[in-house]
Amino acid sequence: MNNSVPILAKAGTGSLRAGDRVSDEASVQMLDKAAADCVDTCFSRLDGQRNQCTFGKNGVCCRLCYMGPCRITPKALRGVCGADADTIVARNYVREVAGGTAAHSDHGRHLVLLLKKVAEGRGGSYRIADEPALRRSARLYEIEEAGRAKEAVALDLADLFISEFNRQEDPLWTLKLAPVKRQGVWRQRGILPSGIDRMVVESLHRTHMGVDHDYRNLLLHAFRTSLADGWGGSRVASIVSDILFGTPVPIRSRANLGVLGERTINIVVHGHEPALSEMLAIASRDPEILAEARAAGAEGLTLAGICCTANEILMRHGIPVAGNFLQQELAIITGAVEMLITDVQCCMPSLPEVAKAYHTEIISTSDIARTVGAVHVPFDEERAFDSAKALIRRAIANYARRDVSKMAVPKVSQPLVAGFSVAAIKHMLGGTYRASFRPLNDAIIQGRIKGIVGIVGCNNPRIKTDSYVNALTRELIQRDVLVLKTGCAAIASAKAGMLTPEAALKLAGPGFREVCEAVGIPPVLHMGSCVDNARLLEAVTEVVLEGGLGDDFSEVPVVGVAPEWMSEKAIAIGCYFVASGIHVILGHPFHIGGSDNVTRFLNEEARDLFGASFHVCSDPQEAVTVIMEIINRKRERLGINRKAERKLYDMKDRRALDV
Ligand code: BF8
Ligand code: SF4
């Protein structure tokens, strides 16, 4: 049976108008073009999945052994082995957290191994780009650095980081970077994680058939595993990236599909690990390469990024961002991309299929991440610069195959400022010689800034792309809330023009606007990729250490939000935020609805354990209410709410939100 006709009939946008599925004009244009070109996208494929599995959604499907698969229904309250909904839902959840932790941490491991090679003189084209960052980190980890060669310091640090993966029983060293009080909470709750690898292995062991069946015990291990991500693999990834590639400082660039050139050779990098893209960023400015591009008839070369690889090279080189997660297929549909290079994570297997309609070559570069239909060009780290140049030359050769009749690059992009590492924020706030978070703490205490909200995570075709992220961001800025962003949420705000200092003049509330103007910062600070959510924790740690806003995360008026999330990594991030004492708002729930006990544990009982929990708010307005309520309560407890705010707070319906 040929079933291609009905699928093609729904190509591109699927059953809805493009404007109902995506928010920005560039994406609307490309979705309409996908329909005209009869190209399927995730939006049309979502419609193909119309009745998504309710058992899966509720987390009550178990296929952990071959007596199953089993699913819990009103008529079958237990699987063949006797597992009930609580056990099944909790086990599935633990595995999701382990998946997210593994992805972030394997990325971190890769960078740590590269640091070790560089330290031993086997790093090929890679160097220690930021010696001050190396020495700063060494001091944090109590490694002697004064008077020692940078390579020797780097080797000690790399070995310590490797031991973070291998530790069998001792707690992770990196946990010591958290406020002392929070370390005490983790100890008291029995969730101090040991080695990162051990936590992930233990997650798989505990969830094997016939091992851990107590949902509370399982969920505590989910939190423990997530801490090995946020205070382990992710934190280490950020630190090592800064050492090898440079600590980000504010940098201007642009975002959205309009950054692709109509007359340049366009190369898009997509994925997460910065090692290859760093070299591509350098090679793309090589005069010899640029001359070759011109000799091929192009006006030059445009390197642009998608997803977190984009965030990495944006933060350090100002390389423009073509788009976030749901624009990966749309970039190809412009018909103007010679090559799309993937590394790991969030790269859709559909890319080669979409590329068939155009001339784009899809290149995979990591041996652990291949896709049928993509050309696999293993990235040779030892000859990284040459590897990068070879890839660019291949793209130059492909330029001749571009069919201009199929090309339509949307003339849509927005200016942005990114690159807000914690060190950069400190310098901006306090000046080079007295770098400090003091001005931020003072602004919060005085009420000019009400609180801090970290908005993170993905797009999801089940939600109109970027709509929740941007509506929420606008509302918060207006209410004098400083918004910190990473990942695809940061790119969403970039496309909406919110990552510029000028946006503060238009959008921020009066107190917050004054601060932004005085410091010269946007109201939304782009802090990097998804592993850089560890930078958010680092920033809040600075706030705590600076003093005046409590001595633990749970006391600071700070909230995390994942509005349009889709990935297991987002689940791990949410968990380490909550375990760190930071409330997390989700735009849509986890797959846990089949167990009231698991839901209650994550959304309520976690508050007694960690001082924070998850909250599901399906629309941005509801999220604003909950967030402001949390922030006001924290301010009230700190005794920094002004009279007017207190009155407003007293009048509030105190609902179920005991925060
Ligand atoms: O790690 S925000 S879609 S790209 S998972 Fe993926 Fe989600 Fe984007 Fe970065 Ni993070
Ligand atoms: Fe079914 Fe139990 Fe096997 Fe899961 S572990 S598939 S519930 S028998």
Whether residue 209 has its Cβ less than 6 Å from ligand 2: yes
CA of 346, closest atom in ligand 1: 6
Whether residue 487 has its Cβ less than 6 Å from ligand 1: yes
**CA 362 to the chain's CA centroid:** 23
Buried b (16+ CB within 10 A) or exposed e, 118-153: bbeeebbbbebbbeebbbbbbeebebebeeeebeeb
The secondary structure element, H or E, covering residue 363 is strand 361-364
C-alpha of residue 639 to centroid of ligand 1, in Å: 37
Buried b (16+ CB within 10 A) or exposed e, 476-497: bbbbbbbbbbbbbbbbbbbbbb
- Taking the C-alpha atoms of residue 243 and residue 129, their distance in angstroms, rounded to an integer, is 6
Counting as low any pLDDT under 50, the low residues of the chain are: 1-9, 653-654
Whether residue 308 has its Cβ less than 6 Å from ligand 1: yes
Choice from 63, 66, 73, 81 to test ligand 2 binding pocket (greatest atom count within 8 A of CB): 81
Closest CA to 565 of 496, 612, 618: 618
Whether residue 325 has its Cβ less than 6 Å from ligand 1: yes
- Taking the C-alpha atoms of residue 432 and residue 435, their distance in angstroms, rounded to an integer, is 5
C-alpha of residue 78 to centroid of ligand 2, in Å: 9
C-alpha of residue 229 to centroid of ligand 1, in Å: 15
Question: How many other CB atoms are found less than 10 A from the CB of residue 46?
Answer: 17
**Phi, then psi, of 583 in degrees rounded to 5:** -60, 145
Closest CA to 474 of 493, 502, 447, 495: 493
- Taking the C-alpha atoms of residue 304 and residue 313, their distance in angstroms, rounded to an integer, is 9
Whether residue 79 has its Cβ less than 6 Å from ligand 2: yes
C-alpha of residue 529 to centroid of ligand 1, in Å: 8
Whether residue 307 has its Cβ less than 6 Å from ligand 1: yes
CA of 82, closest atom in ligand 2: 2
Whether residue 569 has its Cβ less than 6 Å from ligand 1: yes
- Taking the C-alpha atoms of residue 310 and residue 491, their distance in angstroms, rounded to an integer, is 9
Lookup: tokens for 636: 């009230």
pLDDT in tens, 121-137: 999 999 999 999 999 99
Question: How many other CB atoms are found less than 10 A from the CB of residue 434?
Answer: 11
Whether residue 70 has its Cβ less than 6 Å from ligand 2: yes
CA of 209, closest atom in ligand 2: 5
Which residue's CA is minimally distant from atom 1 of ligand 1?
530
Sheet (strand 321-323) strand order: 375-376, 361-364, 339-342, 265-270, 301-306, 321-323, 251-255, 414-418
**Considering every ligand atom, which ligand is closest to the CA of 458?**
1
Whether residue 80 has its Cβ less than 6 Å from ligand 2: yes
Query: What is the 8-class DSSP label of residue 65?
Result: S
pLDDT given for residue 3 in this prediction: 41
- Taking the C-alpha atoms of residue 659 and residue 647, their distance in angstroms, rounded to an integer, is 18
- Taking the C-alpha atoms of residue 390 and residue 404, their distance in angstroms, rounded to an integer, is 25
Whether residue 274 has its Cβ less than 6 Å from ligand 1: no
CA of 79, closest atom in ligand 2: 7
Please, are residues 330 and 40 in contact by the beta-carbon 8 Å criterion? no
Whether residue 458 has its Cβ less than 6 Å from ligand 1: yes
Whether residue 192 has its Cβ less than 6 Å from ligand 1: no
Where do we find the tokens 């052994």? 65
Which residue's CA is minimally distant from atom 6 of ligand 2?
68
Query: Between vectors from CA 584 to CA 567 and to CA 169, what angle results, nearest 5°?
Result: 75
Question: How many other CB atoms are found less than 10 A from the CB of residue 194?
Answer: 19
For the residues of 136-177, what is the DSSP string, one character each? HHHHHTT---TTS-HHHHHHHHHHHHHHHHH-SSSPPGGGGG
At 243 the three-state DSSP class reads: helix
Quick one: CA dihedral 302, 305, 309, 313, positive or negative? positive
**Considering every ligand atom, which ligand is closest to the CA of 85?**
2
Closest CA to 484 of 579, 558, 570: 558
pLDDT in tens, 407-437: 999 999 999 999 999 999 999 998 767 889 9
pLDDT given for residue 647 in this prediction: 64
Question: How many other CB atoms are found less than 10 A from the CB of residue 300?
Answer: 12
Whether residue 488 has its Cβ less than 6 Å from ligand 1: yes
Task: Please name the residues in contact with 401: beta carbons below 8 A apart, sequence gap of 6 or more.
Answer: 359
- Taking the C-alpha atoms of residue 656 and residue 290, their distance in angstroms, rounded to an integer, is 61
Which residue's CA is minimally distant from atom 6 of ligand 1?
346
C-alpha of residue 381 to centroid of ligand 2, in Å: 43
Query: What is the 8-class DSSP label of residue 320?
Result: P
Choice from 97, 105, 241, 308 to test ligand 1 binding pocket (greatest atom count within 8 A of CB): 308
Q: Directed axis angle between helix 422-430 and helix 438-446, to 10°?
A: 70
Lookup: tokens for 55: 């058992």
- Taking the C-alpha atoms of residue 269 and residue 361, their distance in angstroms, rounded to an integer, is 12
Number of H helices, E strands in the chain: 30, 16
Task: Reply yes or no: is the peptide bond before residue 349 cis, omega within 30 of 0.
Answer: no
Lookup: tokens for 510: 């009066």
CA of 103, closest atom in ligand 1: 1
**Alpha carbon separation from 306 to 140, 368, 528, 659 (Å, rounded):** 33, 20, 13, 37
Lookup: tokens for 657: 């939100």
pLDDT given for residue 10 in this prediction: 63
